[in-house]
Amino acid sequence: MINFRGLIAGLAAIFIGGFDAKLAVAEDAHTRSREGMVKNQLIAGGITDPGVLKAMSEVPRHEFVPAAVRPFAYMNGPLPIGHGQTISQPFIVAFMTQALELTRDDRVLEVGTGSGYQAAILGRLCKEVYSIEIVPELAQSSEQLLARLGFENVHVKAGDGYLGWPERAPFDAIIVTCAPDHIPEPLVNQLKEGGRLIIPLGEEGTIQQLVLLRKQEGKILRENKLDVRFVPMTGKATNGLTDD
């Protein structure tokens, strides 16, 4: 007599074992892709901060992009994530993060959560990350993804990032991942003394300037860093309104 129960159990074990093996192969491929990204894009491009390189080598970028573009997750280019938004290319993520000179005790504000990838990188490097996303659907999906991946120190809310997050201010550093045509005053006001703010400035469809600001003795020091192209900041940024 055929032991159907045993046969089914055996087939299930083979199926599960084969599935696990495929997952392992896929993860190995992603790991190799991340290693190649770090070596060929970041280190070759001048990224030297050990913490940034470690975070970029560990955070699974492919988890933060739609399935349709997942094969391109570790290429050095921006990718669409829906709702007219993009995930920045790896080099820009690393460059902006390195420019902030983060420490483990820093509290960071991010304007423009997107899919959550930049927030995840920040979460590996500092104490707390507060990230604002103006598209409610992206805020919800990124919050869920970051929670699933264990980023308990990253806090996401839907809202207009032009106004910052005054309830959680002041911040040691602020990173803006969308481009207004001027520096939002509320963000400057929420920056600590000695704090750093990195932001792309310029109109949509033009070459924008990635700018690093430092608050020193109440003054704002400006340093132009790179020519870039980012999606525009929307909401109050389009008419210059503030929360006064």
Q: What is residue 204's predicted lDDT score, i.e. its pLDDT?
A: 84
Q: At what angle do helices 50-58 and 90-99 cross, to 10 degrees?
A: 140
Catalytic residue among 33, 57, 88, 131: 88
Query: Which helix (H) or strand (E) segment is 5 a member of?
Result: helix 4-37
Task: Determine the pLDDT at residue 68.
Answer: 96
pLDDT, position 7: 53
| pLDDT score, position 215 | 96
Percent of the chain having pLDDT more than 70? 87
Can you give the pLDDT at residue 23?
46
| Strands annotated E in the chain | 79-82, 85-87, 107-111, 128-133, 154-158, 171-176, 191-201, 208-216, 219-228
In this predicted model, what pLDDT tens digit does every residue of 96-107 receive, in sequence order?
Answer: 999 999 999 999
According to the model, what pLDDT value does residue 29 have? 86
Question: So what's the pLDDT on residue 32?
Answer: 93
Decide: 116 and 156 in contact? Cβ < 8 Å: yes
pLDDT for the residue 127: 98
HEC letters along 27-43: HHHHHHHHHHHHHHHHH
Q: Domains of the chain: which residue ranges?
A: 75-238
Q: What is the reported pLDDT for 28?
A: 75
Per-residue pLDDT of the chain (244 residues; tens, 9 = 90+): 556 566 565 545 555 555 454 445 556 788 999 999 999 999 999 999 999 999 999 999 999 999 999 999 999 999 999 999 999 999 999 999 999 999 999 999 999 999 999 999 999 999 999 999 999 999 999 999 999 999 999 999 999 999 999 999 999 999 999 999 999 999 999 999 999 999 999 998 889 999 999 999 989 999 999 999 999 999 999 875 443 3
CATH topology of domain 75-238: Rossmann fold (3.40.50)
Dihedral angle sign, alpha carbons of residues 109, 159, 232, 154: positive
- The question of whether 88 is a catalytic residue gets the answer yes
| Separation between Cα atoms, residue 64 and residue 56, nearest integer Å | 13
Inter-residue contact 91 to 68 (CB < 8 Å): no
Put simply, whether the predicted model's pTM sits higher than 0.85 gets the answer yes
pLDDT score for 1:
55
Q: How many other C-beta atoms can be found within 10 angstroms of the C-beta atom of residue 167?
A: 7
pLDDT of residue 242: 44
